[in-house]
Amino acid sequence: MKTEIFLNLPVKDLNRSMDFFTALGFTFNLKFTDEKVACMEIGENIYAMLLKEEFFKTFTKKQICNTASSTEIITALSVESREKVDELICLAVKAGGEEYRDAKDYGYMYQKAFLDVDGHHWEIFFMDENQFPSN
């Protein structure tokens, strides 16, 4: 069975969110994109569905998380190098996001975080499994 992952994230301004993630190098599947939702391609079989808040509300009876005061999910993405971690954080800030905290360097893993234009928390990390400490 082929499994795909679809993260559904509410956004205030769909075009602004698409512009933000395009600036980070992500692409969108236009077949599943319209005026209410955009299908962002993260990796093979991994997508983020960016849904306008009004449309997102049709899928749940709960309130949308206030990202200014709460975190509902941390989306962590691995990249191929430490330099790519730094590059994506720089691109996120330049595109209107916010660097969320200082870098963490564990030797075998290097990570940074940003908040997108809607306040969603994204972790970007590089991990060298060959450097992972043995038990």
Q: pLDDT tens digits for 22-52? A: 999 999 999 999 999 999 999 999 999 999 9
Give the confidence band of 135 by pLDDT, cuts at 50, 70, 90: low
> Any idea where the domains of the chain sit in the sequence?
1-59, 71-135
Q: Tell me which architecture the domain covering 1-59 has in CATH.
A: Roll (3.10)
Q: Give this prediction's pTM.
A: 0.91
Distance CA 69, CA 117 (A): 15
CATH classification number, 71-135, choose in 3.40.5.10, 1.10.260.40, 3.30.1490.20, 3.10.180.10: 3.10.180.10
pLDDT digits (tens, 9 = 90+) for 49-59: 999 999 999 99
Tens of pLDDT, residues 77-131: 999 999 999 999 999 999 999 999 999 999 999 999 999 999 999 999 999 988 8
| High-pLDDT (> 90) share of the chain, % | 93
